[in-house]
Amino acid sequence: MVTTLPPAPQGPQTEPGRVPSRVSDRLIVALDFPDATAALACASQLAGSISWFKVGLELYFAAGDSIVRELKKRGHSVFLDLKLHDIPNTAAAAVRSLARLEPDLLTVHAAGGRTMLQAAAEAARSVPKPPHLLAVTVLTSLDAVALAETGVPGAPIEQALRLGRLAAECGIDGMVCSPAEAAALHSALPKALLVTPGIRPAGSDLGDQKRVATPQFALAAGAGMLVIGRPITAAADPKAAAQAILNDMAKSNPTK
């Protein structure tokens, strides 16, 4: 029997940095489009079912601040996934600059190191409406071989734990990790919000992802929020695809 969820109201229904209490607020749809017209058309199709949207590098570079402002104007919550990674002063300045858009979640690279992470966290706390920061641990497109090529030995889970612990010590609210590392990070850092990309419903094309899992697996492993793009945005009926994923998430009873 399929569980039908009520439409999700617009806007955040929980304090970012904490796991949302409702299933419908735990799904973030990635608007990975080359222009604002296509992104906003998809957001309009999903209105009433989805309240969270991710704006990444492709869309932000194409549309700039206006896409974040428009999504916020429509009452949506925005995960601004720009993966800031620079010297501490520059990263902190970028956080303060982006904070004027009032994103709900904003990413920095944990690999930027302790001083950069601390500077970013301090910058976020210094603004009137601070974004909640997430530290990106290991990209879901990387595996052990790819990590080794960059000089990082060991398995991705080892690097994710190392960087996750560092980010938590620096005052970062949560981490971005693959579903494969979610259980270990949740066990080590139970208070951190874990946001997991690389989510693919059973039978979906993996695309360029290496470390993926189904929605139920990720939630059971301790993921707080899931990021899903192409399985929804490239579907013939994006709203139906999103609803099917929400139904699948509901079966795992993630808020129990």
Q: Where are the alpha helices (DSSP H) in 170-229?
A: 179-188, 215-220
Residue 9 in this model has a pLDDT that exceeds 90: no
The catalytic residues are: 83
Max avg pLDDT among 6-10, 61-65, 142-146, 198-202: 61-65
Cβ-in-10-Å burial (0-12, 13-18, 19+) of 252 comes to: middle
Residue 160 in this model has a pLDDT that exceeds 70: yes
Tokens coding 254: 């993630």
Residue 218 in this model has a pLDDT that exceeds 80: yes
The share of the chain scoring above pLDDT 90, in percent, equals 77
Provide the pLDDT for residue 253: 58
Are residues 89 and 83 in contact, defined by beta-carbon separation less than 8 angstroms?
no
Task: Give the span between the Cα atoms of 64 and 91, in whole angstroms.
Answer: 18
Helices 156-169, 114-125: inter-axial angle, 10-degree rounding: 50
| Unique residue bearing structure tokens 């303060």 | 96
What's the pLDDT tens digit per position in 31-57? Answer: 999 999 999 999 999 999 999 999 999
Are residues 110 and 117 in contact, defined by beta-carbon separation less than 8 angstroms?
yes
Q: Which fold has domain 23-251?
A: TIM Barrel (3.20.20)
Task: Give the span between the Cα atoms of 227 and 26, in whole angstroms.
Answer: 9
**C-alpha dihedral (144, 189, 57, 52), degrees to nearest 10:** 130
Provide the pLDDT for residue 7: 35
Are residues 148 and 109 in contact, defined by beta-carbon separation less than 8 angstroms?
no
What's the pLDDT tens digit per position in 86-109? Answer: 999 999 999 999 999 999 999 999
CA distances from 202 to 64, 135, 153, 190, 199 (A): 34, 28, 31, 27, 10
Task: Give the span between the Cα atoms of 195 and 127, in whole angstroms.
Answer: 23
| Unique residue bearing structure tokens 């993630």 | 254
CB contact set of 160 (below 8 Å; sequence gap of 6+): 137, 138, 175, 177, 178, 181, 184, 185
Residue 248 in this model has a pLDDT that exceeds 80: yes
Residue 232 in this model has a pLDDT that exceeds 90: yes
Provide the pLDDT for residue 149: 96
CA 146 to chain centre: 22
Provide the pLDDT for residue 14: 41
What's the pLDDT tens digit per position in 125-154? Answer: 999 999 999 999 999 889 999 999 999 999
**Beta pairing partners, 30:** 54
Q: Once rounded to an integer, what is the mean pLDDT over residues 191-202?
A: 88
Residue 182 in this model has a pLDDT that exceeds 60: yes
CB contact set of 253 (below 8 Å; sequence gap of 6+): none
* Domain residue ranges of the chain, discontinuous segments joined by +: 23-251
Residue 10 in this model has a pLDDT that exceeds 80: no
Provide the pLDDT for residue 202: 62
pTM of the model: 0.88
Closest CA to 196 of 208, 184, 182: 182
- 3-state SS, residue 55: strand
